[in-house]
Amino acid sequence: MTDFRIGIDLGGTKTEVILLNGNSQELFRTRIPTVRDDYSATLRDIAGLVEQAEAAAGQSNLPVGIGIPGTVSRKTGFVKNANSTWLNGKPFQKDLSEFLKRDVKVTNDANCLAVSEATDGAGRGYDLVFAGILGTGCGAGVAYKGQPVVGPNGVAGEWGHNPLAWTSEADLNARPCYCGKAGCQETFLSGTGLCLSYQLITEEKLKGHEIVALAEQGDAVAKEVLANYFDQLARGLATIINVMDPDVIVLGGGASNIAAIYTEVPKLLPHYVFGRECDTPIVPAVHGDSSGVRGAAWLNPIV
């Protein structure tokens, strides 16, 4: 019997492995560059990382979970919606399980964030955790009692690709999205969306932290953009609360580091949540960039 777990985070630029024990202690971690556009190399690299983690544990055949930037279709068993496009259309979970000669749990990387934070992070002690990512893009994962909620279509928590609620058609159409639609929440609520909001007003491209710094210095335009961003985020989160009413909302990604989110957005939520009241905690992720790989490790129960 062992309480060791291995987690893999397969990203577009790096692939990371972590070895955890049953007390959430990190015993081993390393990362390698992701070999792009080579499916066979991806399988071999993951196997090599698992071998390194097992060497550190001094045991073999340990449970493995992996987070990917896409999802496994329940209908076909193939990966879909992955921006690591060489995974799309491949039976990745089946192939990796055969390659490693054990059952491997595979889920979306945002689900791994939710599982990590629900297990031993900001969502610990809550049953239903909604974990939103405000990074280059905008996604989310859902965990219930520490397990990911995936759904029959594999898109549970795909929050970023719905139109932003209570927004004019003109404002929606001003923000085309890579998915082929316009006005997706990702184009407003991601860090990229915040920068776009500033650019649409000033025709100047700034990074998110530069906009925040300007607002803190009293710049009127930057303050307006941030105020609008908080209101947009409140609208986006209100739709989640109205549909699933999670016990806690955990935020990760670069834009989640804007401290004022956690004081300003809760004040705005009652304006949009049905019933005009809202006590849902909005909190930053505890594990930050480590949540993906940690959550992958927690996909498997202790064996």
DSSP per residue, 7-26: EEEE-SSEEEEEEE-TT--E
Does 1 score more than 50 pLDDT? no
Question: Backbone phi, then psi, for 121, in 5-degree steps?
Answer: -125, -145
- pLDDT per residue as tens digits for the range 205-258: 999 999 999 999 999 999 999 999 999 999 999 999 999 999 999 999 889 999
Say whether both 68 and 178 belong to one domain: no
Residue 186 in any domain: the answer is yes
- Mean pLDDT of the 62-71 span: 92
CA–CA separation, 39 and 228 (whole Å): 42
State residue 301's pLDDT score. 61
pLDDT of 250 reads 97
Q: Tell me whether residue 35 is in a domain.
A: yes
Is residue 209 domain-shared with residue 61, that is, in the same domain?
no
Domain ranges, residue 241: 125-285
**Whole-angstrom Cα distance, residue 11 to residue 17?**
11
**Alpha-helix residue ranges (DSSP H) falling in the chain:** 39-57, 92-100, 109-120, 169-173, 186-189, 191-202, 208-216, 220-244, 261-268, 291-297
pLDDT band at 78 (very low <50, low <70, confident <90, very high): very high
Q: What pLDDT, on a 0 to 100 scale, did the predictor assign at position 303?
A: 40
Domain identity same for 257 and 158: yes
**Domain match, 36 and 134 both:** no
In a domain, 303, yes or no: no
Same domain, 156 and 260: yes
The answer as to whether 49 is a domain residue is: yes
Q: DSSP state, 73?
A: -
Identify whether residues 28 and 61 lie together within a single domain.
yes
- In this prediction, residue 88 has a pLDDT band, given cuts at 50, 70 and 90, of very high
Total domain count for the chain?
2
Task: Identify which has the larger pLDDT, 214 or 153.
Answer: 214
Same domain, 138 and 280: yes
CATH number at residue 164: 3.30.420.40
Do 206 and 227 reside in the same domain of the chain? yes
Residues 155 and 241 in one domain: yes
